[in-house]
């Protein structure tokens, strides 16, 4: 079991829009601190900079200002200690499900003696029978599951999830949410989940960060003081959901006022 | 192709059976027509044989003497057609395949029938320009040792050039796709050299090359180099950035990014270039052999032209056709295997 803290200090990101000779500010002075082993969810409307924030933490994007510390060390690039599950599954179409997982293991230099783990992961994802199928032969949900276990295979200290269940029906989604909780509790890694599903954020995380758009900022932070396993219809749950929705709405009204 | 399918409660045991179930029902007339079709190739071949053996030749002079080689050839084809027909009676699957290919086989047999009529039997198409099939086959049989040697030499030259050019094209295209500096220096070269057909260089190469073989390899390679460079460059430039990002978040190093991500991603593009390159290589091979190299099928044709041996020239053309068809079939198989992962199979 390993995990690491994540600390973002004053992250600002400005994108160049070369086609229009303009710039677009996606993040404005975003700071956050996440304890080792903590499960944090980030919610916010579409386009508010959630993916950008996650990509900076992963080391894929260089912040314009500010920095990210992971386990106290400054993030300067990607590292297999920080795994990322992308918004699209991004499986390699020329590799089978097993091939995709093995690719990850080889890239992270963890391939030796991994056969049993791979089998276990395939079992967790319910993909044993599809280990030798190519991504185009799978359903959307199966692809998403495969992408999830591919990231899990290399046992990252920090797992960054960018709407990993976004494309799924609510039934599959709930199943996978339970899978994610049990994986997290089993492995104890730090989790940062992006979602625009408020229920999902409350159901999974210990703390919900709310982002507002243009430029992206963290406007509120709400702890989820409910013990696992959580009941989606319990009164605490519902109350928290209302509060988050209210704050998200505020964020929207703020913006509208700003625009007017 | 994978023929057996995983156990299913529908009781479908093969992909072929699945196709049968999903196919639209055919009308009775259509079914009768298909049945008749399967017998047509054999019937046409019988006509060819009958005409050849029974109809009188245009003249009785020694030039119009015929051999049994054509008889054997058509008999062998007939035997194959009959065996195919018999198999189609026993197996539904063979039957389906035969109904699809029977029209073509029949047409080919009729072509032989008609050509024989126009040449050997009526002299409408005169000698020496239009030798009849038996004459061409006899020429082929007579010169078989030499022809085989030519095939060997042509293939050695073709593949020496093709593999050199493909390797050079892959290296140029891939490095230019991955590295901006390489692209900067290579792209003017591609723009200038690319549109010139490689055969343009023949006269220069013939003078400058220290060996004709080496010069020809260079010519063929140049023709292959351009399409392979272009398609692999294109393939690399069109890779979704996410493909690299996934690997980077997993800690993949530079070599892995190149060999396990970039190249497989670009494979469908690259194979287009490899196929185009093969046509270029075949064209350049013929030019090289007809212009300078003193072996191979192109040289053989040119040499026989000197003796006005039209039958031998045609026989060499047939051998060339068979050789190139075979080479392309091999390439298609390689492509199929390499691109098996593509949706709907490799195209
Ligand atoms: N590479 C880029 N170049 C230019 N602009 C970008 C780039 N990436 C993101 N942006 C802009 O930054 C803003 C935030 O994008 P981001 O992808 O982080 O949003 P998001 O919160 O993840 O949205 P969603 O929920 O729809 O995924 C958007 O306005 C987007 O247009
Ligand atoms: Mg996003």
Q: Is B252 on the interface with A (CB under 8 A)?
A: yes
In this structure, are A38 and A56 located in the same domain? yes
In this structure, are A186 and A236 located in the same domain? yes
Give every CB contact of residue B135 below 8 A, 6+ residues apart in sequence.
B120, B311
Q: What is the pLDDT of residue B323?
A: 94
Residue A223's domain comprises: 1-81+158-260
Q: Is A9 on the interface with B (CB under 8 A)?
A: no
**CB-ligand 1 contact for A49 (6 Å cutoff):** yes
Nearest CA, atom 19, ligand 1 = A47
Nearest CA, atom 1, ligand 1 = A15
In this structure, are A32 and A105 located in the same domain? no
Q: What is the pLDDT of residue A1?
A: 53
In this structure, are A43 and A171 located in the same domain? yes
- B-chain residues within 8 Å CB-CB of A80? 249-251
- Determine the residue of A15, A53, A54 to mutate for testing ligand 1's pocket, defined as the one with the most ligand atoms within 8 A of the Cβ atom: A15
Residue A75 domain-assigned (yes or no): yes
Q: How far is A217 from chain B (nearest CA, A)?
A: 25
Query: Are the CB atoms for B205 and B219 separated by under 8 Å?
Result: yes
Question: How many CA within 13 A on the CB side of residue A33?
Answer: 2
Nearest ligand to the C-alpha atom of residue A42: 1
In this structure, are A138 and A253 located in the same domain? no
Give me the sheet containing A6-17, strands edge to edge: A22-34, A6-17, A65-70, A73-74
Q: Where are the domains of chain B?
A: 32-126, 144-346
Chain A to chain B, count of Cβ pairs less than 8 Å apart? 63
- B-chain residues within 8 Å CB-CB of A77? 248
Residue ending a domain, among A155, A177, A201, is A155
In this structure, are A172 and A220 located in the same domain? yes
C-alpha to C-alpha distance for B57 and B114, rounded to whole angstroms: 14
Residue A148 domain-assigned (yes or no): yes
- B-chain residues within 8 Å CB-CB of A78? 245, 248-249, 251
C-alpha to C-alpha distance for B273 and B307, rounded to whole angstroms: 39
Query: Are the CB atoms for A58 and A36 separated by under 8 Å?
Result: no
Give every CB contact of residue B16 below 8 A, 6+ residues apart in sequence.
B3, B93
Q: What is the pLDDT of residue A254?
A: 52
Q: What is the pLDDT of residue B5?
A: 60
Consecutive 10-residue averages of pLDDT for chain B (347 residues): 59 74 79 89 95 88 86 95 94 90 95 93 87 91 92 94 96 93 92 85 82 88 93 94 93 91 93 94 90 85 88 92 94 91 64
Q: What is the pLDDT of residue A257?
A: 47
In this structure, are A26 and A134 located in the same domain? no
In this structure, are A111 and A201 located in the same domain? no
| Number of domain units in chain A | 2
**CB-ligand 1 contact for A56 (6 Å cutoff):** no
Chain segment A46-60, per-residue pLDDT in tens: 888 899 999 999 999
In this structure, are A72 and A194 located in the same domain? yes
DSSP B71-140: HHHHHHHHHHHHHHHHHHHH-HHHHHHHHHHHHHHHHHHHHHHHHHIIIIIT-SS-TTTS--HHHHHHHH
Contact B250 A107 (CB under 8 A): yes
Give the C-alpha distances (Å, rounded to integers) separating B69 from A69, B74, B118, B138: 84, 9, 19, 6
C-alpha to C-alpha distance for A100 and B226, rounded to whole angstroms: 33
Indicate the helix (H) or strand (E) that contains A27: strand A22-34
Query: Are the CB atoms for A169 and A141 separated by under 8 Å?
Result: yes
Residue A86 domain-assigned (yes or no): no
Residue B44 is encoded by which pair of tokens? 């046409």
Residue ending a domain, among A135, A155, A175, is A155
Q: What is the pLDDT of residue B282?
A: 93
Contact A90 B246 (CB under 8 A): yes
Q: What is the pLDDT of residue B197?
A: 85
Q: Which of B250, B256, B258, B267 to mutate to test the interface with A (most CBs of A within 10 A)?
A: B250
Q: What is the pLDDT of residue B345?
A: 53
- Please give the model's pTM, rounded to 2 decimal places: 0.81
In this structure, are A68 and A120 located in the same domain? no
State the pairing for strand pair A65-70/A39-44.
unpaired
Evaluate whether the domain defined by B144-346 bears CATH number 1.10.3720.10. Answer: yes
Residue ending a domain, among A155, A172, A207, is A155
- B-chain residues within 8 Å CB-CB of A134? 341
Q: What is the ipTM for the molecules in this complex?
A: 0.86
3-class secondary-structure state, position A25: strand
Residue A194 domain-assigned (yes or no): yes
Nearest ligand to the C-alpha atom of residue A214: 1
In this structure, are A134 and A219 located in the same domain? no
Give the C-alpha distances (Å, rounded to integers) separating A201 from A163, B141, B312: 10, 80, 80
Ligand 1 atom with the shortest distance to the CA of A24: 5
Question: pLDDT below 50 — which residues of chain A?
Answer: 257-260
State the pairing for strand pair A39-44/A6-17.
unpaired
Residue A87 domain-assigned (yes or no): no
In this structure, are A185 and A122 located in the same domain? no
Place of tokens 């190739």: B41
- A54: closest chain B residue by CA: B249
Residue A243: which CATH number? 3.40.50.300
- B-chain residues within 8 Å CB-CB of A107? 247, 250-253, 256
């Amino acid at each position: 079991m390993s995990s690491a803290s994540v600390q973002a200090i004053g992250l600002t990101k400005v994108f160049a829009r070369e086609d229009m000779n303009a710039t677009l500010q996606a993040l404005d002075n975003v700071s956050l601190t996440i304890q080792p082993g903590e499960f944090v969810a980030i919610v916010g409307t579409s386009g508010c900079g959630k993916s950008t924030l996650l990509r900076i933490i992963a080391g894929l994007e260089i912040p314009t200002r500010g920095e990210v510390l992971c386990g106290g060390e400054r993030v300067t690039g990607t590292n297999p200690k920080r795994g990322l599950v992308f918004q699209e599954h991004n499986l390699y179409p020329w590799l089978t499900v097993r091939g995709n997982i093995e690719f990850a293991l080889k890239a992270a230099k963890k391939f030796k003696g991994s056969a049993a783990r791979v089998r276990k992961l395939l079992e967790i994802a319910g993909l044993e029978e599809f280990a030798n199928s190519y991504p185009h032969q799978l359903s959307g949900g199966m692809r998403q599951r495969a992408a999830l276990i591919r990231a899990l295979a290399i046992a990252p200290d920090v797992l960054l999830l960018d709407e990993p269940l976004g494309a799924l029906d609510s039934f599959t989604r709930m199943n996978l949410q339970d899978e994610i909780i049990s994986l997290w509790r089993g492995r104890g890694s730090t989790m940062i989940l992006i979602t625009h599903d408020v229920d999902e954020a409350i159901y999974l995380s210990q703390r919900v960060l709310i982002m507002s758009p243009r430029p992206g900022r963290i406007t509120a932070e709400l702890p989820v003081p409910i013990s696992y396993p959580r009941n989606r219809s319990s009164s605490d749950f519902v109350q928290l959901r209302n509060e988050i929705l209210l704050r998200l709405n505020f964020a929207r009204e703020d913006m509208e006022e700003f625009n007017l | 192709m994978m023929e057996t399918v995983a156990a299913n409660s529908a009781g479908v045991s093969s992909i072929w059976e699945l196709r049968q179930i999903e196919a639209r029902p055919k009308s009775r007339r259509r079914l009768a027509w298909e049945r008749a079709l399967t017998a047509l190739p054999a019937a046409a071949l019988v006509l060819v044989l009958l005409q050849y053996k029974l109809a009188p030749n245009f003249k009785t002079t020694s030039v119009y003497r015929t051999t049994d080689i054509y008889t054997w050839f058509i008999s062998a084809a007939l035997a194959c057609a009959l065996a195919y027909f018999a198999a189609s009676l026993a197996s539904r699957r063979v039957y389906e395949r035969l109904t699809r290919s029977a029209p073509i086989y029949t047409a080919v047999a009729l072509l032989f029938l008609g050509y024989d009529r126009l040449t050997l039997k009526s002299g409408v198409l005169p000698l020496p320009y239009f030798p009849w099939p038996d004459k061409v086959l006899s020429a082929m049989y007579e010169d078989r040792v030499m022809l085989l040697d030519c095939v060997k030499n042509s293939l050695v030259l073709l593949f020496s050039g093709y593999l050199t050019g493909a390797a050079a094209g892959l290296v140029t295209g891939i490095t230019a796709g991955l590295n901006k500096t390489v692209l900067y220096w290579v792209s003017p070269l591609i723009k200038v050299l690319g549109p010139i057909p490689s055969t343009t260089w023949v006269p220069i190469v013939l003078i400058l090359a220290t060996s004709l073989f080496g010069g020809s390899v260079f010519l063929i390679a140049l023709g292959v180099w351009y399409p392979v460079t272009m398609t692999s460059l294109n393939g690399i430039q069109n890779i979704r950035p996410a493909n690299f990002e996934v690997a980077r978040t997993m800690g993949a190093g530079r070599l892995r990014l190149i060999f396990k991500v970039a190249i497989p991603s670009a494979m469908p593009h690259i194979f287009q270039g490899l196929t185009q390159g093969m046509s270029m290589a075949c064209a350049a091979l013929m030019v090289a052999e007809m212009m300078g190299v003193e072996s191979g099928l192109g040289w053989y044709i040119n040499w026989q032209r000197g003796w006005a041996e039209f039958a031998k020239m045609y026989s060499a053309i047939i051998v060339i056709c068979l050789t190139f068809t075979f080479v392309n079939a091999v390439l298609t198989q390689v492509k199929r295997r390499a691109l098996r992962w593509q949706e709907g199979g490799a195209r």
